[in-house]
Amino acid sequence: MPVSRQGDERTSRPPLLEIVVPAYNEEGRLPGGLMQLCAKLARMPFPTSVIVVDNASTDNTAAIVRQWRGPVPVRLLECRIRGKGAAVRAGLLETTAPLVGFCDADMATDLAALDVVVGLLLSGERVVVGSRAHVFSDVANRHSAVRELGAVGFRALARAIVRDVSDTQCGFKFFDGSLARAAARRLGTTGFAFDVELLARCTALGARVLEIPVRWRDMPGSRFSVARHGAGILLELGRIWLRLRADRSWHEALAVSPVAQTSPLKTVGYL
């Protein structure tokens, strides 16, 4: 069957948008998540691609990605350093597209928000993130009271590092590609609090963080536990604060010569 003009155009041009999906032992949730994501991306009027980062899984996560066939290119990247932060960093540094981002394998955030994200990035915004704390967000949460209390404490500490961001932890974040790669190169946090450092580095490079409302559904299978991870996350936040202070000279140097920003459409030859 001959390739349609639209299909040929989508495969002959480099992607305008690349999405990173970090995955650790996600054989149960990844197939459904990839199906949703690829179906959404296939309806975009420009080329897209997906990078699944296998974070040292011990199940069939990698095999699922290797065997995946669909309307959108999906490739596997292996990251042997454990931790979601390490996986997202590896994925972002593997991207080349002018627009990049990451989302969780369970697709807890409704992908309808992608339309808003792309429009904002193309209009000049450099960091657009989903926020469950936004007044217009629709959030269905099954978390315990203990976890909710822990989240309140975490947000208070995170705001001391990233001001004016109400929800640093929603797994739905998108960026100007050059900015994301510059920030990811200096990212040192491998665990759950990596989002705080990533956003802080973006703001240090001169970008503002724009939060948008999302429809978010808590999915079963979360590995986070306040009892097991709470103390470690507090230590991570402390290390992030110290690391950012130590890197102040780097940020000041880049402030003089900031990360270049060009039109994403021009970058991939659409203008």
Query: Which residues are bridge partners to 173 per DSSP?
Result: 102, 129
How far from the centroid of its chain's Cα atoms is residue 95's Cα? 12
Model confidence band, residue 11 (pLDDT cutoffs 50, 70, 90): low
Q: In this predicted structure, which of 11-15, 26-30, 48-52, 167-171 has the lowest mean pLDDT?
A: 11-15
Q: Which tens digits make up the pLDDT trace of 97-150? A: 999 999 999 999 999 999 999 999 999 999 999 999 999 999 987 565 556 666
Model confidence band, residue 258 (pLDDT cutoffs 50, 70, 90): low
C-alpha angle 160-255-128 in degrees, rounded to nearest 5:
55
Measured CA to CA, the distance from residue 131 to residue 14 in angstroms comes to: 30
pLDDT of residue 247: 83
CA quadruple 198, 122, 47, 110: dihedral sign: positive
C-alpha angle 55-74-192 in degrees, rounded to nearest 5:
30
C-alpha angle 132-181-167 in degrees, rounded to nearest 5:
15
Mean pLDDT score, 24-46: 97
pTM of the model: 0.87
Q: Which tens digits make up the pLDDT trace of 44-70? A: 999 999 999 999 999 999 999 999 999
The residue that leads in pLDDT, 11 or 85, is: 85
Measured CA to CA, the distance from residue 50 to residue 36 in angstroms comes to: 12
3-state helix vs strand vs coil in the chain, percent to 5: 45, 15, 40
> Average per-residue pLDDT in the chain?
87
Q: Give the C-alpha distances (Å, rounded to integers) separating 218 from 46, 100, 170, 174, 195.
A: 30, 24, 11, 20, 18
Q: Give the C-alpha distances (Å, rounded to integers) separating 235 from 45, 64, 232, 238.
A: 44, 35, 5, 5
Cβ-contact 174, 99 below 8 angstroms = yes
pLDDT at 31 over 90: yes
E strands, the chain, are: 17-23, 48-54, 74-78, 99-103, 127-131, 138-140, 172-176, 210-213, 215-217
pLDDT of residue 177: 98
